[in-house]
A and B are shown apart, each in its own frame.
Chain A
Amino acid sequence: NAGVTQTPKFQVLKTGQSMTLQCAQDMNHEYMSWYRQDPGMGLRLIHYSVGAGITDQGEVPNGYNVSRSTTEDFPLRLLSAAPSQTSVYFCASCGGAPYNEQFFGPGTRLTVL
């Protein structure tokens, strides 16, 4: 199993550009999430999904969109990038009960100029 994979690993955008961060998992997990990591602030939840076709907002959803058309994929879209979205983005998946562990991908480092 590859686990949770993310692409790209690095990305530089200009203010106002749009892009999609890709996330895929091959563990047949129902739950998938996107977090952003900023210095001194830990990881903060952006959006999450409890299954295909079902998504909900986390703590910091503004400026981001998600969709979940398949169990495997959970892309994160930045509609109009802003410098405040410069961060490291992590995708995670979880199998739910009785397994609690969230598995994280390797991350995408995004810089918005």
Chain B
Amino acid sequence: GENVEQHPSTLSVQEGDSAVIKCTYSDSASNYFPWYKQELGKGPQLIIDIRSNVGEKKDQRIAVTLNKTAKHFSLHITETQPEDSAVYFCAARTGTSYGKLTFGQGTILTVHP
């Protein structure tokens, strides 16, 4: 089955700096890669996603890049703000298995004012 590795496990930045979180996946058939943000005591919430036929996607301060050859994808957050502090998860899905996501281990992002 699919295996997703996520790094780093913790990331501390100053407000206004950029943050980058990286994930690798094992199944070349995976074709959908979402990123979720989880705030304390809440369920994960989708912040951005990318399909395998796209190399990069951007939404305001958040961007995701995908390298299918190397089987890795990354989340980039620019101009970080204290409210960006949360746990971030990457995930991968294979084919049309809409109910099945394989998650990375999570990254605790702390943005210091």
Residues of A within 8 A of B (CB): 4, 30-33, 35, 40-45, 48-50, 58-59, 90, 92, 94-97, 100-107
B residues near A (Cβ < 8 Å) are 1, 4, 6, 9, 32, 34, 36, 41-46, 49, 51, 89, 93, 96, 98-106
Most chain A beta-carbon neighbours within 10 Å: one of B46, B49, B100, B105: B100
Chain B hits for A41, CB < 8 A: 105
Q: Name, among A42, A58, A90, A95, the residue most crowded by chain B CB atoms within 10 Å (CB to CB).
A: A42
Q: Contact: B89 with A104, CB < 8 Å? A: no
- Nearest Cβ in chain A — how far from B113, in angstroms? 27
**List of B residues within 8 angstroms of A58 by Cβ:** 100
Question: Counting chain B CB atoms within 10 Å of each CB, which of A4, A44, A48 scores highest?
Answer: A48
CB distance from B78 to the nearest CB of A (A): 23
B100 touching A97 by the CB < 8 A rule? no
